[in-house]
Copies of this chain bind each other. A is one copy, B any other.
């Protein structure tokens, strides 16, 4: 997989180029508040981001394509310079990489959610009452201790967070073209694990998965809430060409949430430590700085507050990142990008297809406004920019791309 936006014969400098920080505020883009007509980012008081915008090229990022609402996986793959459609990867693999599991080619992974089912086998809570991390871990251990592993398969079960866990199957002849068993709503029965293609490997694997899920229900029969597992996002792991192989960049990722460490790992970034707060993330970036060429730092709260429909909460989450920004600019990267992996407008309460305001600060920027927000970015020098093209811009501004042709 070559870089989707660069000619194959365009040379990338491995050495001597500048350093790049990519700061991602998850779900950054928003929609205007009906009273003020200003989006979350436009409503936030962001003196440091505004000052940065004044020395940045601005633009609007289209993560996957017009009208397409990206999940976090495709959104980040685009930011990392992969074609998000061709590089589409299932949630299972991202989750397994996110918890630090050393996936091998051919492994099949799925995301598991603990759920509550009633006596008739109907799902009454798709998150089993959101158990604490401790409680969730206990349930996973109970299953692990009592599960009969199917023949010819190595099975790994890892607790992720709260009601979330990861299942990894390793063995010969496994397939991942398997339906989600999560019915996606309550008052429905789980969907039996079924191969969604006439593929013997997936058919065999679906049978193994259903056997595991049946066993789990017996093992957890006495649990008041977490008495069942729902599986989704089956995916087979195929390693991607790494960030370093593609761009000549030694890259490191700083992210509090497993999912984002997972997608960074998939891109071949180093993950060295798990920060426990936003400030901790910046501290970790400061510690790493100098040892790598590319730094990915991820802030989640913008997305979480927007998922809650909390406009003001998202505003404050942006302001919190703004307050940390001086420590990041003080590191003096040659290129500092601030963007999101998609929009999550608080008014919508979920991911959306809207473009994401984006700034790229560099000595070679073409500034157009002294403010960071949707209105300024849509008038910026970068125009509407396909997500997968952001990395080539970053490389160019870092002096890492040759001239193309004579």
Query: What is the interface of chain A, defined by CB distance below 8 A to chain B?
Result: 5-7, 9-10, 31-32, 37, 39, 60, 64-74, 84-85, 88-91, 94, 111, 232-233, 345, 347-348, 350-355, 364, 366-368, 374-375, 378-386, 389-397, 401-406
Contact = CB atoms under 8 A, between A and B. Distances in A.
Contacts of A368: 375, 378
Contact of A67 (B353, B375, B395): B395
A404 B366 contact: no
Contact of A383 (B364, B383, B396): B383
B65 A389 contact: yes
Given A378-B380, A381-B60, A405 B71 contact: yes
A336 to B, nearest CB: 16
A377 to B, nearest CB: 10
B67 A5 contact: yes
A405 B364 CA distance: 35
Contacts of A9: 88
Nearest to A378: B381
A72 B406 contact: yes
A66 B405 contact: no
Contacts of A60: 381, 383
Copies per complex of this chain = 2
A95 to B, nearest CB: 8
Among A37, A39, A73, A353, chain B packs the most CB atoms within 10 A around the CB of A353
A32 B88 contact: no
Contacts of A347: 364
B406 A71 contact: yes
Given A71-B403, A73-B406, 6 more contacts: A60-B381, A66-B390, A67-B396, A71-B406, A89-B405, A353-B396
Most buried by B among A345, A348, A380, A382: A382
Contact of A381 (B68, B355, B380): B355
A329 to B, nearest CB: 18
A396 B31 contact: no
B65 A6 contact: yes
26 contacts: A6-B67, A7-B88, A9-B88, A64-B404, A66-B385, A67-B389, A67-B397, A68-B392, A69-B396, A69-B403, A71-B403, A71-B404, A71-B405, A72-B406, A88-B405, A90-B406, A91-B405, A91-B406, A233-B406, A345-B364, A347-B364, A350-B403, A354-B366, A355-B381, A355-B383, A378-B379
B67 A393 contact: yes
A379 B379 contact: yes
Contacts of A65: 5-6, 389, 392
Contacts of A393: 66-67, 353
Contact of A85 (B7, B89, B90, B402): B7
A68 B404 contact: yes
Contacts of A374: 366, 381
A378 B375 CA distance: 13
A405 B67 contact: no
A402 B367 CA distance: 36
Top 9 A-B residue pairs of the complex, sorted by shortest distance between their CB atoms = A383-B384, A91-B406, A67-B392, A67-B396, A71-B405, A66-B389, A74-B405, A67-B393, A353-B396
Contacts of A85: 7
Contacts of A71: 403-406
Contacts of A364: 31, 345, 347-348, 352, 354
Nearest to A347: B364
A74 B404 contact: yes
Contacts of A352: 364, 396
A54 to B, nearest CB: 10
A379 B368 CA distance: 11
B68 A401 contact: yes
Nearest to A343: B366
